Amino acid sequence: MSELEEALKFIQKIERENFGKSTYEIANKLRGYTREEYTTKLWSAATGYNQGYINGKFKEKLNKENLLLSGQYTDLAHFIAALSDQIDPPKVNWSNLTSWTADHTSWAGDIASAIIIYYSQHNTIEIKTVEEALNKFARDSDYTADIAAYQVGSLVNSGSQASISQAIYQYNASSYSENVRAFIKKRFGGTIEGKKLKNPADVEAEIRRAVSTFIRCSNAYDLFKAVKNLVKLQPNLESENTSEPSGLDLLQGSRHFLSHMVKQGGLEGLKFKPYQMPGVPWLGTVNYEVTIP
C-alpha cells in the first residue's frame, strides 16, 4: 500500500466516524492528526475552529513530509492544515469577517513567514538573504501542498465531490501541471494560451498583495510598520532602499512562487514589468523587467 493509499484509508475512517458532520468540521478534525504546530490558537483563529492536537494511537498519522500526490512530493500535514481553512464553514463565523483568507494559511503565509524570519534575525547571520529564507521556508513540497489544498477545497466547496477523500482522489487523477494551470486560472485570473501566461503582471500583483496583507495582520508587523507602503514598488531599482524591508522583498516572494508555477505548470518563461501598486493599475508599472526562466 502506498503512503497516499494509507493516508486516504485513514481519512475515510475519520469521515465514517464523523458521519453527518460537515466537511469543514471533518477537515479541521483531520488537522488534529498532523502536527502540534497546526493546532495552536493562531490556527483556531484563522480557521474559526478550535481543534486540539490529538495524541494516542493515531498521533501525527497525517504527518508525512514527502507524500506523492498528483505526481509531486507534497507535505501532507501542510496540505491538510491548509485544506482546513479552504473548505467553507456551514455558516459564517467571525474569522470570515476579517482580512484573513485561506491564502494566508497556505502560499501567502509561507512566503510572508520566510520574509518575516529573515528580518527578525536581528544580529544573527543564519540566513543571509531573502532568497535563502524563501528556499528554506517556502519549499516546493509546501507549494504543492498549498495548490493541492486550494484545488481539493474548490472541489468540495463547489459540490462536485461530497467528501474530502473523493476530492483528493479526483485531484490525484490529474497531472500536477494540469492542477497548477487550473490554480493559476481560478485563483489569480491567469490567462493561459498554449504554454504562455498572458497576464503575468496581474498574477504577480495579486500574490504580492496577499503577502502584504499577511504581514500587516501578523504579530511581526512592528518589523515593517516604518515602511509607509510595503506592497508598493518604486519605479526605478535605484530608488529602492535595500537596507530595510521594501516592496522588493515581496516581489522576491512572488517571483519565488511564480517560478514554481511556471516550471511545474510546463509554462514558458516570463519577462514582464510589475505594477508599482497591486490593485492600482493607473499608477503604471516599474521601469525594470522581471525575468522568470
pLDDT of 21 reads 96
pLDDT of 237 reads 79
User: How many angstroms separate the CA atoms of 293 and 13, rounded?
Assistant: 44
pLDDT of 88 reads 92
Helices (H), 89-163: 107-119, 130-137, 140-158
**pLDDT tens digit string along 11-68?**
999 999 999 999 999 999 999 999 999 999 989 988 999 999 999 999 999 999 999 9
Burial 65-91, CB ≥16 within 10 A → b, else e: eebebbebebbbbbbbbbbbbbbebee
**pLDDT tens digit string along 154-201?**
999 998 888 999 999 999 999 999 999 999 999 999 999 999 999 999
Tell me the residue type at 66. Answer: N
Share of residues in the chain with pLDDT > 70 (%): 94
**pLDDT tens digit string along 72-121?**
999 999 999 999 999 999 877 655 656 678 999 999 999 999 999 998 88
Secondary structure (3-state) at 116? helix
pTM of the model: 0.94
